[in-house]
Structure 1
Amino acid sequence: MLSYRHAYHAGNHADVLKHCVWLCCLEYLQRKETGLRIIDTHSGAGLYSLTAEREKNREFDTGIGKIYNQPNLPEPLAHYLASVRESNRKTLALYPGSPLLTSHRLRPQDELWLHELHGADHALLRKNLQGKKRVYVKCEDGFAGLRALVPPPTRRALVLIDPSYEIKSDYQKVAEALTQASRRFASGCYLLWYPVVDRARIDTLEKQLRQSGIGGIQLFELGVRPDSPGHGMTASGMIVVNPPWTLWSQMEETLPWLAAELGENGQGYYRQETISE
């Protein structure tokens, strides 16, 4: 059942969007001194080789590889790429996932909870985070882990929900998990990543969230080509509950730039919408 390995997709256009938005939120929430509980429900291995034999499809070439050495970047992208460079030397050879990107920025008062069910990836995750203080690596279901970890003692939390969606029921699960967590802890900052493979599923997901009663939801989507059923992921998006007030303007600068640079044959596009006030 758990066959998905993010190593085959590391650094693609979806990772660029996801991790740029994630770091924007992390940086803002860490402006306050109070400790932050950070929860990653589907962590993967944490660090990926872009030169390994398995990386034959080289999805990073159409993602981070296109922008890694570009000058004059929007500030959120410059910050994101600087974070990726911390795991590399002169050339782009490794891609750090959200666990590594986050662990490099943990303060003494913060804690990071990582969940990964895939046996091989869990072992790699533990190895890649070995020796990191205040980092807890769990081989357990991330949705259950989220329920157990909110509300946090400090009353401050940043949550990333990003399953592979290889199990179609995940589309329903993410909506339920986000709704339940928000009801348990309404002031948390929640980030939900989604892939656009079948637009109808995303339309249903958005409808569920609009009807959930959760307030303060924004959506940021990056597409590299028009929707095309049966031809893989054409776009991806981040749905953010209780976003930092700075995020909207940061994405107004970043999304058009990414759509122009990463779009295929000039077909890139973006969406930036408020789902609920």
Structure 2
Amino acid sequence: MNYRHAYHAGNHADVFKHLTLARLIALLARKPAPFAYLDTHAGVGLYDLGGDQANRTGEYLEGIGRVWSNERAPALLDDYLGVIRAMNPDGELRHYPGSPELARVLTREQDRLHLNEKHPEDGELLKNNMRGDRRVAVHRGEGWLVPRALLPTQEKRVLLLIDPPFEQPDELERCVHALEEAHGRMRQAIVVIWYPIKDERQLKRFYQKLSKSNAPKLLRAELYVHNPDDATRLNGSGLAISNPPWGLEDELRELLPWLAQTLAQSHGGWKLDWLVEEGAVNAKPAVKDKKVR
């Protein structure tokens, strides 16, 4: 358990992931019915970009730092940037929200949040950071067990983020298993898997497993800041999104070119396609186990 996200907070991968999360929440909020937000590997929720960990890497300078100072950001960034501006009222970029805080601010009174963080110190920080919001429940178990433990929810709509640290070689495979378990328990759930773009051979196996999964439909969105054929560094990141709400594909088609141009380091690029199209004949039987509490 060595991974601490504070070293990477606000980098290009965070910008892409959190902007997409903000758009998913906005699209879900168009309907009055409540939804639940679940986060399997939540982190601490709030990050100090002026702190030692963030400054040791300086990754945020090539991520949110570029977006923060860009005066031509598309209107689709308004919700995402609004949260960050509220955290930095003097106009100086110092604080950055993790996915828990972003979701907490952007969700509504009728929505609920279940945030899980296994790391002992980070779990305690997350609990402290979320204190005072009765809609939020903080869990400190194994993130991979979240679908089994918390689904189905009483809300008929669910947004589940699977965002592990990718310290272990089997985590891409475990992401697919978690997605399948989530859809076995709530077929209509929106499941978002974040993944790093490094080893293309590993990713090809990951794509094949995703395309054969029980996801009713599965959208792949990728953002590159370096040429993706260099396996020695983080070249970009991807999101596999099952059951994306109507309108998200068009929004990403507008946002990805701008992000690729704004965040490119040695090479900017993007991809948007369907790994599983709606109605594909690869669905598996639903899991009928009882919900674990």
Between stretches 209-218 and 34-43, larger displacement belongs to 209-218
- The alignment partner of 1:39 has SS state of strand
Match of 1:222 in 2: 223
Q: Deviations 1:34-56 (Å, cap 9, x if unpaired)?
A: 11111000000111110112222
Q: Does 1:150 align with 2:151?
A: yes
- The alignment partner of 1:193 has SS state of strand
Between stretches 167-176 and 100-109, larger displacement belongs to 100-109
Match of 1:79 in 2: 79
Identity %: 36
- In structure 2, how many angstroms separate the alpha carbons of the residues matched to 1:36 and 1:237? 24
Between stretches 83-92 and 163-172, larger displacement belongs to 83-92
- In structure 1, how many angstroms separate the alpha carbons of the residues matched to 2:39 and 2:88? 23
Between stretches 18-27 and 145-154, larger displacement belongs to 145-154
- Using the size of structure 1 for normalisation, the TM-score is 0.96
Q: How many aligned residue pairs are there?
A: 275
Match of 2:59 in 1: 59
Contact kept, 8 Å, 2:25 with 2:107, in 1: the verdict is no
- In structure 2, how many angstroms separate the alpha carbons of the residues matched to 1:68 and 1:224? 17
Q: Give 5+ residue unaligned stretches, structure 1.
A: none
- The alignment partner of 1:86 has SS state of helix
Q: Does 1:197 align with 2:198?
A: yes
| Residue identity in the other structure for 1:74 | P
Deviation at 1:69, TM superposition (A): 2.2
Deviation at 1:164, TM superposition (A): 0.8
| Aligned 1:91-106 pairs, distance under 5 A | 91-106=92-107
- In structure 2, how many angstroms separate the alpha carbons of the residues matched to 1:56 and 1:261? 23
Q: Give 5+ residue unaligned stretches, structure 2.
A: 278-293
Deviation at 1:73, TM superposition (A): 1.4
Q: Does 1:160 align with 2:147?
A: no
| Residue identity in the other structure for 1:177 | A
Deviation at 1:156, TM superposition (A): 1.0
Q: Deviations 1:177-231 (Å, cap 9, x if unpaired)?
A: 0011112111111111000121222211110011113221101100001125453
Match of 2:287 in 1: none
Deviation at 1:84, TM superposition (A): 1.6
- The alignment partner of 2:57 has SS state of coil
- In structure 1, how many angstroms separate the alpha carbons of the residues matched to 2:92 and 2:41? 28
Contact kept, 8 Å, 2:224 with 2:236, in 1: the verdict is yes
- In structure 2, how many angstroms separate the alpha carbons of the residues matched to 1:100 and 1:214? 28
- In structure 2, how many angstroms separate the alpha carbons of the residues matched to 1:22 and 1:131? 23
Match of 2:25 in 1: 26
| Residue identity in the other structure for 1:59 | E
- In structure 2, how many angstroms separate the alpha carbons of the residues matched to 1:276 and 1:264? 31
C-alpha distance 106-260 of structure 1, shift in aligned 2 (>3 A): closer
- In structure 1, how many angstroms separate the alpha carbons of the residues matched to 2:200 and 2:74? 29
Deviation at 1:150, TM superposition (A): 1.4
Between stretches 252-261 and 70-79, larger displacement belongs to 70-79
Match of 2:13 in 1: 14
Match of 2:276 in 1: 276
Contact kept, 8 Å, 2:40 with 2:161, in 1: the verdict is yes
Contact kept, 8 Å, 2:22 with 2:106, in 1: the verdict is no
Deviation at 1:169, TM superposition (A): 1.5
- In structure 1, how many angstroms separate the alpha carbons of the residues matched to 2:237 and 2:106? 25
- In structure 1, how many angstroms separate the alpha carbons of the residues matched to 2:111 and 2:221? 27
- In structure 2, how many angstroms separate the alpha carbons of the residues matched to 1:270 and 1:106? 28
Contact kept, 8 Å, 2:200 with 2:231, in 1: the verdict is no
- Using the size of structure 2 for normalisation, the TM-score is 0.91
Deviation at 1:74, TM superposition (A): 1.7
| Residue identity in the other structure for 2:215 | I
| Aligned 1:253-264 pairs, distance under 5 A | 253-264=254-265
